[in-house]
Amino acid sequence: MSDSLSVPVVSIDATHLTGSVKGVLLIASAKDGDSKIYPLAFGFAASECKGSWTWFLSELKKGIGSPQDLVIVSDRHRGIISAMNEVFPYAQHAFCVFHIAQKFRRSSKNQSLAREFFYNACYQHRRDDCDIDLQQMAACNLEVLQRRHENWGR
C-alpha cells in the first residue's frame, strides 16, 4: 500500500449470519494494481455494534498500520462511524454509493431519473460537474441532498 501514485482504499462491511451459527461476519477488502478484489481481514462478532467494529478495526490496523491518505469506505452504520473516529481518526471515511443508493431508491418519487442523476453525480471527477447533477437530482429527491455528499465514495 505504499505506492506513491495510489491512495490506499479499504472497504469494510458486515453480513448477518443466518445459519446454525448466529452473529455477523465483518470483512475488510481492497483492490490490487490489476483492480482485483482481495480480502485483508475478516472476523466474527456477536452483533454489529461499536464494540465489534472497534475490535475489528483495531485488528485491521495491526495488519495494515496507518497509511498516509488512507480511505475507508463503508455503509453509514453508526458503530462504524464511532469506531472509525476512535481507531483511524486521521483516515478519510467515505460512504459507499451502493448503500446510499439503496436508501435513495426507497424514498424517491421518480426512481429511474433520480438514480441516473445520483450515479452521474457520484462518478464525476470534478466538483462542478457533480454539483450540476445534484441540482438536476433535486427535483427528484431533496432528502438525499441534505446529506454531506463530500463523503460519497465510488
Q: Are residues 14 and 82 in the same domain?
A: yes
- 7-32: pLDDT as tens digits: 789 999 999 999 999 999 999 999 88
CATH number at residue 48: 3.30.420
Number of domains in the chain: 2
Q: Are residues 103 and 50 in the same domain?
A: no
Q: Are residues 85 and 138 in the same domain?
A: no
- 44-83: pLDDT as tens digits: 999 999 999 999 999 999 999 999 899 999 988 899 999 9
90, 109, 142: which is the final residue of a domain?
Answer: 90
pLDDT at 1: 47
Q: Are residues 30 and 73 in the same domain?
A: yes
Task: Assess if residue 1 is contained within a domain.
Answer: no
**Highest mean pLDDT: which of 27-36, 81-90, 115-124?**
81-90
Q: Are residues 18 and 70 in the same domain?
A: yes
How would you class 10 by CB atoms within 10 Å of its CB: exposed for 0-12, middle for 13-18, buried for 19 or more?
A: buried
Q: Are residues 81 and 126 in the same domain?
A: no
Q: Quick one: angle between helices 111-122 and 97-107, nearest 10? A: 160
Q: Are residues 115 and 83 in the same domain?
A: no
Quick one: CA torsion of 98, 104, 106, 112, rounded to 10 degrees?
-90
C-alpha cell belonging to residue 98: 451502493
Q: Are residues 107 and 84 in the same domain?
A: no
**Can you give the pTM of this predicted structure?**
0.74
Q: Collapse the DSSP code of 123 into the 3-class scheme (helix H, G, I; strand E, B; otherwise coil) and give the result.
A: coil
Q: Are residues 144 and 109 in the same domain?
A: yes
- Which residue range(s) make up the domain with 127? 97-153
C-alpha cell belonging to residue 2: 505504499
